Structure formats: structure tokens, C-alpha cells
Structure 1
Amino acid sequence: MLEAVDISKKYWDRSSGKHYDVLRNCSLTIQSGEALGLMGPSGCGKSTLARILLRLLPADSGRIIFRSQDLTTLSQAQLKPFRQQVQFISQRPESFFDPLLKLGASLREPLQIFGLPDNSEIIESALSTVKLSPALLDRYPHQVSGGEVQRLSIARALLLKPQLLILDEPTSMLDISVQAQILHLLKSIRQQQQMAFLFISHDHDVIRYMCDRQLQMRGGKLV
């Protein structure tokens, strides 16, 4: 489904005047319906790789292939179908919601962007999947808990019916009890909708619970 081929990335450090390798010839493949875990310590390049796979960051070299199409040189307009089919869940979901907009407006925004039907039944179905009440839609982001915001970010992604979720430490900022609820919810969604996951974490127990197989990243390389 999604393949990365020899992805490399350097960052410029102004203080030292040197380039540093963040990613070095990283390759991976995610099959349809598979949950692939990506493990490694903080700073090893996991999040950078995720953002390159999403075409949110440019790679210095390498290719990204989705369903046999090379995405590497496509324009933002040409990437629109890809952006609907591959959704991102962050460890900081509040950053995806405008603090000045009610949650209902933010939830509907992707439907408008991609020209999809926007009606109460579709919204309520997505909220039901993540076990939230429609009453939350009249609130602002600061009026709900971290766990509720993360559930809303998952619901917003599901509205687009993606084939792949890329999840970057999606529970690391939550309380332990809420973490368990979100992980159970994500696993249930994946099983019901036969969706593929790239699940990024530094926690071996979380990866073992969520994923079919795992890759380790150390010092910018997949090992």
C-alpha cells in the first residue's frame, strides 16, 4: 500500500554550521490492512519519517510510493486524493483544532475540503464510533479533556474513510487510564474497518498490543 524507498534527510544546525543526518536510507513497506509498529528512542527520526511519508516535509532523497504511484514529485493539488486516503493522528491533537472555532465546525471542515457529504447522520456515526456525545460539538477545544480531543481527532479522520492511519505517539500525552481506552478504541476501529496503521511509539508494550510486526529505528536508520 505505502512504500518508502531509501529516504534520507539532513538538518542544518546554525550554531555549529554543520549538517546532521536525521534519516539515512530508510525503507519500509506497509501492506493493506496491516498494523506496522515503528519503535525507537526520542530524537531517532521517527516523527520526521512520518511527516515525510505524509508529504508534510520534503526528503533530501528517496521515493514515497502509494498504491503504485510515486508521490515524490506530485504537487499539492495532485496529492489531494492521497491526503484523503492517508490520515495523521498526532500526540498533540489540540493543534489540529482552531481554538476560536467550535468543535463541530472543525470536525466538518475536512468534509468541505474534500467535497464529501456533510449531514448530521454521518457526523453522529463517527462520534458514536469513538464513543462521544454530539453535545461536545457545541464546545470549544479548551472546554474538553485531552482524551476527548484525541477521540475527536480520530473521528475527524474517520469521516474521510481513510485506508491508512499514521499515528505518532497518539496516547503519550494522556493519563494512563485514558491511554488504555484510546488504544482499545483504535484497535477496535482497525479490526472493524480493516484499516492499515503505521503506529509510532517508544513503548514496546503498546507496539506489541497494537501491531502485527515492528521496525526499530536508531540514529536515523531502520535496523
Structure 2
Amino acid sequence: MLKAENISKSFVDRSNGKNFELLHNVSLELKPGEAVALMGGSGSGKSTLARILLRLLPCDTGKIYFQGQDITNATGKDLSSFRRNVQFISQRPESFLDPRQTLGSSLQEAFTVFNLPYDEEKIKEMLDLVKLNAELLQRYPHQVSGGEIQRICLVRALLLEPKLLVLDEPTSMLDISVQAQILHLLRDIRKEKQLAYLFITHDKQLAEWLCDRVLHIEQGKLK
């Protein structure tokens, strides 16, 4: 479903002005409904690779395919379709919510961005799925907990009926008890919606618990 071939990415080291290769000829493939963990330490290149796969950052060399279509340089409708089908869940979900908007307005925006008709019933269905009360939609981000914000971001992603979720350490900023709740929720959602996951983590035990396969990235190379 999602395939990357020979992805490389370099940055300029500000300390000496030289190029530093963060990713070197990385190739991977996710099948429909498969959960794959991308595991590595700080500076390994795992989050940079995720941003490239999401088309949030250009690669220097290589190709990205989604459902057989080359989307490496896709624009317009092709890029919009890709972004609807591949949703991102961050370790800092609050950064994806406008603090001036209620949570309900943020969910409505998901429909607006992709020119989709507003669907109140679908919102209720997704709120039930993530075990949130609809009363929260009247609140602002600063009025709810980190776990509730992460659930709202999950709802917003699921409203678009994606085929793949890219999850970049989605529980690392939460309390331990809340982490467990979100992780069990992610496992349940995957089963119910038959979603594929690319799960970015540094936690081997967690990767093996949630995912079908674990890929290790070290110094910009898959091991």
C-alpha cells in the first residue's frame, strides 16, 4: 500500500557548514491493514523518515508510492487524496488544534479542508469509538486533558476514513495510566477499522505488543 524506495535525506550541519546525511537509501513497504513499527533512538532518522513519507518534507533522492501511484512529487488533487488517506498522529497533538477554536470546530474543519459534507452522525460514531463524551466538543483545547486531546485528534483523523495512520510516539507526552488507555484504544481501532499503522517509537516492548513487524533504524539506515 505504502512503499518507499531508496530514500535519502541530508541536512547542513550548522556547526561546520558540511552536509550530514540523516537517511541513506531507506526502503520499506506497508501492506493494507498491517501495523509496522519503526524503532530507533534519538537522532536515528525515524521521525524525519515519517515526515518524508507523509510528504511534509521532500527527500533528496528516492521514490514514494501509495496504492501503486508515485506520489513523490504529487500536487493538487493527487496530493490531497493522499493526505486524506494517510493521516498523522503526533506526540504533541495540541499543536494540531487551534487554541481559539472549540474542539467541535476543529472536527468540523476536517470536513472543510477536504471539501466533504459535514456529517454529525459520523462524529458521534467516532466519539463513541474513542470513548469521549460529546459535551467535550464545546470546550477549548486548554480545558481538556492531554489524553482527551489525543483522542480528539484520533477522531479528526478517523472522520476522513484513512487507510493508514502514521503515529509518531503518540503517547510519549502522556501520563503512564493514560498511555495504556490510548494504546489499547489504538489496538482496538485498528481491528475495527482494518487500518494500517506506521508506529514510530523507541520502545521495543511496545513495538512488539502493538505491531506485526518491527523495523530498526540506526544512523539513517534500516537494519
Aligned equivalents of 1:32, 1:131: Cα separation in 2: 26
Superposed, 1:182-193 pairs within 5 Å as 182-193=182-193
Instruction: State the match for 1:136 in structure 2.
Output: 136
In the TM superposition, what is the alpha-carbon distance from 1:118 to its structure 2 partner?
Answer: 1.2
Distance change (3 Å), C-alpha of 1:76 and 1:173 = farther
Instruction: State the match for 1:158 in structure 2.
Output: 158
SS in 2 for 1:79: helix
Aligned equivalents of 1:111, 1:207: Cα separation in 2: 32
Residues 1:15 and 2:3 aligned together: no
In the TM superposition, what is the alpha-carbon distance from 1:78 to its structure 2 partner?
Answer: 2.7
TM-score by length of structure 2 reads: 0.98
Aligned equivalents of 2:109, 2:117: Cα separation in 1: 11
Letter in 2 for 1:102: T
Residues 1:108 and 2:114 aligned together: no
Q: Deviations over 1:33-85 (max 9, x none)?
A: 00001101011000000000000000000000001100112124430111111
Aligned equivalents of 1:21, 1:68: Cα separation in 2: 28
Unaligned 5+ segments in structure 1 are: none
Aligned equivalents of 2:50, 2:119: Cα separation in 1: 32
Letter in 2 for 1:86: V
SS in 2 for 1:78: helix
Aligned equivalents of 1:151, 1:160: Cα separation in 2: 15
Aligned equivalents of 1:108, 1:205: Cα separation in 2: 36
TM-score by length of structure 1 reads: 0.98
Instruction: State the match for 2:61 in structure 1.
Output: 61
Aligned equivalents of 2:188, 2:129: Cα separation in 1: 9
Superposed, 1:1-223 pairs within 5 Å as 1-223=1-223
SS in 1 for 2:78: coil
In the TM superposition, what is the alpha-carbon distance from 1:123 to its structure 2 partner?
Answer: 1.1
Letter in 2 for 1:125: E
Letter in 1 for 2:209: Y
Letter in 2 for 1:8: S
RMSD: 0.9
Aligned equivalents of 2:49, 2:109: Cα separation in 1: 26
In the TM superposition, what is the alpha-carbon distance from 1:122 to its structure 2 partner?
Answer: 1.4
In the TM superposition, what is the alpha-carbon distance from 1:121 to its structure 2 partner?
Answer: 1.4
Q: Deviations over 1:104-155 (max 9, x none)?
A: 1111111111122313211111111110011111111111100000000001
Aligned equivalents of 1:119, 1:207: Cα separation in 2: 34
In the TM superposition, what is the alpha-carbon distance from 1:15 to its structure 2 partner?
Answer: 2.4
Letter in 2 for 1:3: K
**How many correspondences in the alignment?**
223
Aligned equivalents of 2:205, 2:181: Cα separation in 1: 15
Aligned equivalents of 1:74, 1:156: Cα separation in 2: 24
Identity, in percent, stands at 59
Letter in 1 for 2:107: L
Aligned equivalents of 2:136, 2:128: Cα separation in 1: 12
Unaligned 5+ segments in structure 2 are: none
